[in-house]
């Protein structure tokens, strides 16, 4: 097995990968930007390396800096997490060139599936149904002609798009012309790819995805997830299994997903995403990386997907077979973001008070803590709140309780949004689709309910009463004493002056627990 792995990411996903490594007895290497000087993933790792300024292009997207850190640390492999360089074929290729194992698929597969036009073509070859649509559109006239051929409404999409960026809906020829230019510009701006294509727009589909694992020999799936609760084409709540799937459907559509992955020679973990409407499943895209929502699949299958990624990359293969995969109970994930719960505009700032929920069936994946600074440079996700129950009803009840218990102050969060959704009667019935948030007027209902939600929260906030807001780790006497004790205990205090609080904070509280201070 690998002795040391560098995690080329930050926040909760970096911590998630490090936890899997720790259980496997693998040393971990963190990289961090100037903005993440006091980040939890930095101190959780066995060692860490500074890679640049806060801007992603100068740090977490800086391939040379990350490769250099891996070489200096002696890491044998790199796990990219999700986002940043996770689906960058150039980065995967550089890892290979430098003798580092990239924990993910081959560069050529990432590149082929990174283009939605190429991915659609490959899935057609494999016999996987795709949403009716075009190849590359060369002009506005081509776009209008194709739209009128398949009928309105249509979605004009940037070929290299992701996260809902580069998608524009059109209901007429005039709107198609405007959408064509808009999607081209967005594609060029965000993905350096101005090619666009058209798909038939499905008005209220369900967003269904299958978790794939492949070691080059075995290709199998871990069941489906439903990700229909979205805003601006970005997921907010996911659940596994889908409330409308039974074993027969799971087996039927799971075979289709496996067939598509096998056709392209996929290896490692990936996700085949589909739109489901009127009994038909249509391929949407493939994410050639670990998904944010992999957690709920782990909860209902008992499988550790990150460990399997590492085993596959090392060459030992998947540790189980398709017949070993059993769906047990139901799991729901709520993405807790620092954002306005009505407008969804991101927020930044310092978390002044923090207490995460717990109890039966509750899991919290996060990289934050009290005093943590939510940076404007990165995604605004604070954590992922996951609940499991023997039934969907129990999983929802636990999610309601966990949201009630979750205290985050200092930055605005979307917890009120999640509270309204999980209390919605149609959500409880499983009647969800990608237009659910708008159709059920969730933002308006959040606005109306915030006063009551705040009243409930204030009852829990009493646990922080009496705190004077002064952080003990800034006490100069404590820092000085801690530094001396660190020297006596032969602690690693590299970067002490620059970091100011990271090691002293850790040592100070250790000394307090021993009764020395």
> Over the stretch 460-491, which tens digit does the pLDDT of each residue have?
666 766 555 444 444 444 444 444 444 444 44
Judge if 438 and 413 occupy the same domain: yes
Enter the DSSP assignment of 471.
-
Judge if 71 and 8 occupy the same domain: yes
Q: If phi over 0 gives left and psi between -120 and 50 gives alpha, with beta otherwise, what is residue 66?
A: alpha
Write the CATH number for 17.
3.40.50.20
Judge if 174 and 71 occupy the same domain: no
- The segments of the chain whose pLDDT lies below 70 read 161-164, 453-462, 464-517
Judge if 322 and 401 occupy the same domain: yes
Distance CA 284, CA 145 (A): 22
Judge if 165 and 275 occupy the same domain: no
Is 42 marked active-site?
A: no
pLDDT at position 470 is 43
Q: Which of 463, 109, 114 is nearest to 267 (CA)?
A: 109
pLDDT at position 159 is 81
Query: Does residue 133 form part of some domain?
Result: no
Judge if 192 and 211 occupy the same domain: no
Q: If phi over 0 gives left and psi between -120 and 50 gives alpha, with beta otherwise, what is residue 495?
A: left
pLDDT at position 362 is 98
Judge if 191 and 309 occupy the same domain: no
Query: Does residue 114 form part of some domain?
Result: no
Query: Does residue 130 form part of some domain?
Result: no
Judge if 276 and 166 occupy the same domain: no
Query: Does residue 117 form part of some domain?
Result: no
Write the CATH number for 168.
3.30.1490.20
42, 177, 206, 289: the active-site residue: 289
Judge if 169 and 279 occupy the same domain: no
pLDDT at position 233 is 84
Write the CATH number for 382.
3.30.470.20
Q: Which 3-state string (H, E, C) describes 60-77?
A: CCCHHHHHHHHHHHCCCE
Tens digit of each residue's pLDDT (9 = 90 or more) over 370-396: 999 999 999 999 999 999 999 999 999
Query: Into how many domains does the chain fold?
Result: 4
Tens digit of each residue's pLDDT (9 = 90 or more) over 14-42: 999 999 999 999 999 999 999 999 999 99
Query: Does residue 13 form part of some domain?
Result: yes
Q: Parallel, antiparallel, or unpaired for β 154-158 and 101-102?
A: unpaired
CB-based contacts of 117, cutoff 8 Å, min separation 6? 135, 136, 159, 195, 197
Domain boundary among 53, 77, 103: 103
Distance CA 234, CA 512 (A): 44
Query: Does residue 147 form part of some domain?
Result: yes
Judge if 181 and 296 occupy the same domain: no
The model's pTM is 0.85
pLDDT at position 466 is 59
pLDDT at position 513 is 45
Instruction: DSSP for 123-183, please give it.
Output: HHHHT--B-SB-S---SHHHHHHHHHHH-SSEEEEETT--TTTTEEEESSHHHHHHHHHHH
Judge if 89 and 156 occupy the same domain: no
Residue 508: domain span = 476-514
Query: Does residue 287 form part of some domain?
Result: yes
Domain boundary among 103, 123, 150: 103
Which tokens in the block code for residue 348? 């930044």
Q: Parallel, antiparallel, or unpaired for β 77-79 and 4-7?
A: parallel
Judge if 67 and 89 occupy the same domain: yes
């Amino acid at each position: 097995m690998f002795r040391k792995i560098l995690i080329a990411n930050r926040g909760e996903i970096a911590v998630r990968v490090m936890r899997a490594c720790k259980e496997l007895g693998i040393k971990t290497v963190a990289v961090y930007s100037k903005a993440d000087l006091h980040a939890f993933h930095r101190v959780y790792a066995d060692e860490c390396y500074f890679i640049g300024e806060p801007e992603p292009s100068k740090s977490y997207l800086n391939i040379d800096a990350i490769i250099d850190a891996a070489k200096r640390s002696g890491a044998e492999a790199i796990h990219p997490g999700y986002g940043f360089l996770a689906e960058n074929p150039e980065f995967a290729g550089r890892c290979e060139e430098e003798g580092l194992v990239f924990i993910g698929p081959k560069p050529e597969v990432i590149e082929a599936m990174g283009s939605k036009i190429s991915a659609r073509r490959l899935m057609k070859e494999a016999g996987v149904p795709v949403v009716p649509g075009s190849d590359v559109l060369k002009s506005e006239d081509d776009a209008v002609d194709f739209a009128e051929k398949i009928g309105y409404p249509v979605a004009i999409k940037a070929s290299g798009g992701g996260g809902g960026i580069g998608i524009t809906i059109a209901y007429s020829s005039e709107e198609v012309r405007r959408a064509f230019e808009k999607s081209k510009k967005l594609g060029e701006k965000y993905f350096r790819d101005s090619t666009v294509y058209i798909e038939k727009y499905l008005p209220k589909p369900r967003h269904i995805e299958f978790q794939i694992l492949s070691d080059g020999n075995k290709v199998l799936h871990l069941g489906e997830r439903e990700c229909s609760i979205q805003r601006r084409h970005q997921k907010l709540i996911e659940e596994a299994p889908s409330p409308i799937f039974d074993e027969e459907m799971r087996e039927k559509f799971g075979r289709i997903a496996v067939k598509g992955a096998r056709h392209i020679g996929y290896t490692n973990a990936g996700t085949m995403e589909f739109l489901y409407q009127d009994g038909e499943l249509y391929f949407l895209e493939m994410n050639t990386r670990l998904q944010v929502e992999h957690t709920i699949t782990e909860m209902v299958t008992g499988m550790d997907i990150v460990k399997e990624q590492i085993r596959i990359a090392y060459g030992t293969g998947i540790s189980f077979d398709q017949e070993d995969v059993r769906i047990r109970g139901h799991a729901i994930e709520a993405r807790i973001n620092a954002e306005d719960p009505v407008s969804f505009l991101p927020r930044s700032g310092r978390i002044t008070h923090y207490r995460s929920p717990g109890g039966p069936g509750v899991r919290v994946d996060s990289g934050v803590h009290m005093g943590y600074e939510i940076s404007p440079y990165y995604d605004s996700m604070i954590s992922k709140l996951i609940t499991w129950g023997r039934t969907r009803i129990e999983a929802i009840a636990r999610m309601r309780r966990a949201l009630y218990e979750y205290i985050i102050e200092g930055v605005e969060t979307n917890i009120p949004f999640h509270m309204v959704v999980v209390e919605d009667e149609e959500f409880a019935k499983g009647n969800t689709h990608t237009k659910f948030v708008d159709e059920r007027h969730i933002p308006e209902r959040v606005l109306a309910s915030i006063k009551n939600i705040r009243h409930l929260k204030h009852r829990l906030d009493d646990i922080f009463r009496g705190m004077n807001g002064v952080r003990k780790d800034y006490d100069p006497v404590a820092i000085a004493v801690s530094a001396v004790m660190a020297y006596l205990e032969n602690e690693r205090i590299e970067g002490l002056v620059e970091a100011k609080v990271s090691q002293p904070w850790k040592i100070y509280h250790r000394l307090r627990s021993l009764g020395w201070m």
